Chains A and B, each alone.
Chain A
Amino acid sequence: MLTGSKSSFKIKQFAPEFKIPEKGMNSTNRNGQSKELYGFQCLPGEFVLQRAPLVKRQDAGGTMLKGQLFCTTFRVVFVPERDQKTEADSSDPVFLRDQDIVLASIERVVAGNPLKTKIITPSSHLKFVPEELIIYCKDLRIIHFQFERMTSDLQAIEITLTIARTYQPVKPGAPYAFQKSIFGNSEMKQLLSNRVPDSLMNWFEGSQEWERELLRTGATGWRVSSVNDRFEMAPSLQKFNVVPKQILDNDLKKTFAHFSDGRIPRWCWHHPGGSDLLRMATFQNNMYHEKDDIRHLEALLFGCHPQCVIVDLGDELPTPMDIQAAHSRLRTLCLGDIPALVSPSDEKWLSALEMTKWLDHVRSCLKKSIEVCCLLSDGHLTVILQESEDRDLSCVVSSLVQLMCDPHSRTLSGFQSLVQKEWAVAGHRFLNRFNYSGDNEKEESPVFLLFLDCVWQLLKQFPSYFEITEDYLVAVHDSTYIPIFNTFLANCQRERARRIQHTSQSYTPVNGWYDVVNRQIVLSSAGCPLPSVWDWALQCSPKRRAQFCHPGYTSNHWINRCSDLPSFHKSDASSSSLGPIMMFAKGSLTTPSQILPWRSTTSYRWGHRKTSSIESLPGLDWVLKSYKKSETPKNIQGLEQNPPVTYQCESFQALVPLLCGPYICLWRSCYLRGSQELQCFLHTSSHPCLELLASEVDQLRCKLEKALKQQLTSTGAVENCNNSNNSETSVECINEKIMKERRICTDYANDHQIISGTCDLQHVKIPVHQGNNAQLFSSQR
């Protein structure tokens, strides 16, 4: 299966259409073979292009690991020598082993020997024998391989060139070779169609899933409309939209035209205090507003509340272009000047970090989200996020708001559902923003990565409120660079649906094609079902997946509470007492006259409360005023403890992060992974200690159960033994403590990136009943 002739020093230039050497390959037994042959399992349709034995990889901790290096049509695989026996053969083919490098995620290939380093491009020739191969990945990993003296020069050269020539598509915009060969493979299709979607997650693809969300959050007065069922009303919008009950589909249809791209105000979340969060695009100008239309539009805006605040996401947040610029500066800072090794100039590290503006952007997103949280906490408002396209920063803000306020979204399945709801289904242009094909730099912007960073900041400040861990966020971060996921390879639900339907063009949307740019990829992979990114079993080993959940997180204390919450308002939006529509921008509420385009053109009169000013909202006013008084958000935190509204429910207090200088930090374990020093210092970090903790806990749990029984048998037998209660009590208490302790340990360990094994904390013991632990942390607030 090895290609390239062994006699010549230069290997042949690969043909643009990468020819896969299929000579005599029997696809049925290939997997087994490759496993035996190479020590790893090829995917259906994946082929080894080149291999080099006796390669060393720098391992975490700085030690060198010996093994074989492979380059396949899909990835670069390193198989350590001693590793070959392991990996219990599961029937699930894992797409990626934990250290594999997907070709498409490679940013640059650098070959070097003591005298020379050179960036190897697909067209370059190697005039020296490399001793070292450095692969810079887009996800900011830097991986070093060393060729031993025993590796033949030829092999070293060939594998280097092979990687260099295959890691990017032949021409910008062309699909990757593997996309067709692997995902077009019938075996793979079969395999993917057998994958069962995570039932814990809400995928927001069907109407009942939206119903479920309405039920979960306890929102009333809303219904799921299927008017956009065939994406005819708004091609970029989701199939099912949640709108106020009193608007009929017929009336609803007329409202689409009033919003840019038909992205009407639609419900996304219900705050337990009563308010609702909506999002929409900007109003379509130059429309003639009929009186009836206006009525419906306003009904849409007000939703179920007599008051409505539009939050403008334009001015104070970075634009996607800003984000892209900041991110590329951050990359340069963290990766260093390729191929020079990472060395942010010593003196100027902080100012260089500042210059990237990345942290500023993180901060402004968090700040805006906090403000929205404040508005929502008022309890009787409709808060509408408005962005010109409603496909970028409104995704960030609406999901951050939910992370801050809704404990469910901090669980693993909740977080994934959240991303489904606010990003994938809502039509964030993942495909364009990540620019996988590399042909659309104008649109490229890692808005989603900015969001992940914001989540990390929250996680860092409130570790015990999250079920997801830093490892999980890093995994999500990395997976965005692997162009095989359905989730990221589409710009909206419509595109995704098309791929699944296997139909190339069964209907033409009324409004015409909107996303023409990416037709190529969409079409080329049409008919190939792609996996969802949330199917973690495909890309992560069980070992790695075990790190995704915080071992100490308990969620049961709140889940059922949503519906129990008293609803604070049950007002009929149809009543005529609608308040003014307010605009929230730059930290203050205003009622500008030009908010609604139709207002100036129509004689429509507001309800009798037209003149009411902000004072009609004493609570809200207070929140905002005190917020303004000192811009630091901690004040809000203080306020949250005594909310102005009568409503108070402990478990729904928002997590309000601190935004002052020292608290917004760089996500080092993600962005600085590449730095060598960090790699040896931190990469092993929390993993072994978490594993160790988990195993300890299991052992101790067994012991505890046994000990308890022992006591019961002995004490229970005694006729008059009041003590039994005591002993159980104490055992229970110990458990409680231990559980808490363990959680804190892991937080602390994560926080400090403790090196392997340091965290086998002596005092970590037995968790059995987790019920009340969460209260400890919620009561801190």
Chain B
Amino acid sequence: MRYCSQEVLAERGRSVLLCIAGAAPARHWLDSGALAMEYIRTPKVENVRLIDRVSTRKAPLGTLYLTATHIIFVENASEARKETWVLYSQICTMEKQPTTATGCPLLIRCKNFQVILFIIPQEKDCHDVYISLIRLSRPEKYEELYCFSFNPKIDKEQREQAWNFLDLKAEYNRMGVPNSLWQLTTVNRDYGVCDTYPTEIYVPKSATPPIIVGSSKFRSRGRFPALSYYNQGNHASICRSSQPLSGFSARCLEDEQMLQAIMKANPGSEFMYVVDTRPKLNAMANRAAGKGYENEDNYSNIKFQFIGIENIHVMRNSLQKMLEVCELKSPSMGDFLWGLENSGWLKHIKAILDAGIFIAKAVAEEAISVLVHCSDGWDRTAQVCSVASLLLDPFYRTLKGFMVLIEKDWVSFGHKFTHRYNHLDGDPKEVSPVIDQFIECVWQLMEQFPCAFEYNERFLIHVHNHIYSCQYGNLMCNSQKEREEMRIRERTHSLWAYMWENRVDYMNPLYRPDHSQTQGVLRPITTPYYFKFWRGMYNRFEKGMHPRQSAVDFLMAIREETQQLQEEFEAQEEKIAKLEKVQMKNGKLLPKPKGRVKHFCPSTSDNSIANTPQDYVSGSVCTFPNESPLQQLDMENSLLILTKETLKCSDPDLSANSDQESGVADLSCRSPSGGDSLPSEDSVKDPDSDEATYVAA
């Protein structure tokens, strides 16, 4: 498993590190970097130990550097110089533990579930590091965030292109809107109606601006019902909003008209669902504050439904409890299972998935439109809408589709990234793993439908990582408006384009777009024992905890290698064809081979052996051409030579694969070599002997 931070930082070059290692302060740092440098009390501490919770390897001794953006630990062991990089923005909590004989332990917990324990020899150094990190990990202004200093060295034009990689307008077009029933409204052009909504919002055609504005005044924070997903096939739609300000008896004509309009935009349907994702008790409590939920009596033809997903505070505590289980040193089976169950985490994941299934079912099977809301309509609503979309539409199960989904349901509709993921020093009560849960839902679905998703687990983990890393601007700020004010598009880089470039890493080798399971609506099972603990996420930094056989990694590496080899093979075949031509021309055929060439002439043109995997899929499984039976003698000959070759050629190949971790990486960076680049030594040495064997036979 590669560490994301390392990967990305490689782009920046190692000059940074060298610069600091040379004890020269990095002056030419960007503004924000310079800002950060102020808080660094001590840039370098030596003789620090890094304790790995699960490894018995002797804790490595090394040097700890504080740079503008990262903590870097460089091991002293001369040959490897293993480095551990941790972004400040990933730091979640720090704990200075009581000093021991060996030094002062500093425990750092990261938002991406990495747990690091440094032992710093001097108490003073430890304190300095601690104080520095406290400030560095809790930036107060957006400008201090990593994305404003991150510079992957691409020019302005490329950057803009990268930002245009995803286009939500195109996405709505793909869904089939605007059309005769739905239109784009300009009512929120300057964020006048709702400052947490995007400017471009799709509403039913019959919803006139007065209705929208009226409805928005009756909804918490002005978040009026807007289109999230439109099912072209049967006109059913998923809309989202915040809770109505109904209190105990208030009603609003425009809001009622708005819902009526949504229902009418699904011709043929007689009612619509209004789904409140909160537990009923919570919704009732809100009524006292003048908020609440729709009264079925006031709205014509709605069916109201509570779903019961807990609020962000419950979720935060639940994750905390689960992480405590993960951190147990050697839990017994009972500790683990009880802990996992008591955390309630999987139960919450199930609740979200169940809600998504309810909506997907309503839309796909009943052809009924659904309006989803929670309190403010930016947490649970985003989760549920995106899960439902994912279940409904195979597009969202592709790599690009997933990015679009995040942009649509989370980014554009004002999910509060900054607050929820603690990008800036803020109210800890606002922090909650909302999108984490969505990502886990996707993973649980991937476990049930391994062939239905184009992306793999690594993609999800990397997306998760970037939600916290603050390296790219996409998943920043609390709303579209805020992003515009911060000029995110001009000052930062886009994550999606970067991930798209590296999509090879994120492909699910088992993805089968043409499989019946993949197409159409996913119908997952939500019996409790289908929910697994996601060790790939929560224990991902504990290498000791990873299984020694990761099927997917190997599958991917080998698949790639197969492709390369097939290319080589094709090149070889071309060469052979050429040679044959020359041979024919010269008419210098040896008597025996001549016969053979003749014999196999008809099939020479059939190079189906070199079919690419894609070709293979497109044809049905059994469409191999009928081959003529082989001559026994020929077979023996070929096998004789073959075995000899096997021994020779496969060894270097395998040794390249020897290390599980680097093996995968090795393969992916090995460039596809042309036909000539095969081990030439062997081929120079051996033709004679081979030919000898051959002739002898």
Contact = CB atoms under 8 A, between A and B. Distances in A.
Contact of B562 (A354, A738, A780): A738
Contact of B635 (A658, A705, A760, A779): A705
A644 to B, nearest CB: 13
Interface string A688-731: 00001001100110111111111111111111111111111111
Given A635-B56, A638-B544, 12 more contacts: A350-B340, A632-B330, A662-B336, A666-B529, A717-B589, A717-B596, A734-B566, A761-B510, A763-B559, A763-B616, A776-B657, A779-B655
B579 A744 contact: no
B583 A780 contact: no
A467 interface: no
A737 B675 contact: no
B579 A748 contact: no
A724 B690 contact: yes
Interface in B504-550: 509-510, 512, 515, 517, 525, 527-529, 533, 535, 539, 544-545, 547-549
A127 interface: no
Given A660-B336, A737-B562, A714 B55 contact: no
B551 A747 contact: yes
A731 B569 contact: yes
B643 interface: yes
Interface string B604-643: 1001110001101100011010010010001101100111
Given A672-B529, A730-B569, A758-B450, A714 B331 contact: no
A706 B627 contact: yes
Contacts of A761: 509-510
B554 interface: yes
A629 interface: yes
Interface string A317-351: 00000000000000000000000000010111111
A132 B691 CA distance: 72
Nearest to A710: B600
B604 A662 contact: no
Contacts of A772: 646, 650-651, 654
A585 interface: no
A238 to B, nearest CB: 35
A734 B678 contact: no
Interface in B198-239: none
Nearest to A463: B549
Interface size classification for chain A:
35 or more
Give the secondary structure class of B's interface.
helix
Interface string A474-505: 00000000000000000000000000000000
Contact of A737 (B558, B582, B648, B687): B558
Interface residues of B, number: 116
B450 A661 contact: no
B686 interface: yes
B597 to A, nearest CB: 5
B576 interface: yes
With most chain B CB atoms within 10 A of its CB, the pick from A637, A672, A726 is: A726
B569 to A, nearest CB: 5
Interface stretch (A34-42, A97-105, A276-284, A749-757): A749-757
A752 B508 CA distance: 13
B338 interface: yes
Nearest to A706: B627
Given A661-B333, A699-B624, A744-B555, A712 B643 contact: no
Given A708-B642, A752-B450, A772-B654, A723 B562 contact: no
A658 B333 CA distance: 12
A639 B55 CA distance: 10
A482 B297 CA distance: 63
A336 B346 CA distance: 21
Contact of B657 (A715, A729, A779): A779
Contacts of A734: 562, 565-566, 569
B335 interface: yes
A354 B337 CA distance: 6
Given A638-B57, A758-B512, A760-B621, A728 B555 contact: no
B694 A718 contact: no
A554 interface: no
A757 B551 contact: no
Closest 9 CB pairs of A and B: A661-B336, A717-B593, A713-B596, A349-B528, A354-B337, A350-B341, A727-B572, A707-B609, A635-B56
A272 to B, nearest CB: 20
A721 B54 CA distance: 55
Contacts of B565: 730, 733-734, 737
B617 to A, nearest CB: 4
27 contacts: A354-B334, A631-B329, A632-B330, A634-B54, A638-B56, A662-B539, A664-B333, A707-B607, A718-B582, A718-B583, A723-B579, A725-B645, A727-B569, A729-B645, A729-B648, A732-B649, A734-B562, A734-B566, A741-B562, A744-B558, A745-B510, A752-B447, A757-B515, A759-B510, A769-B646, A776-B654, A779-B659
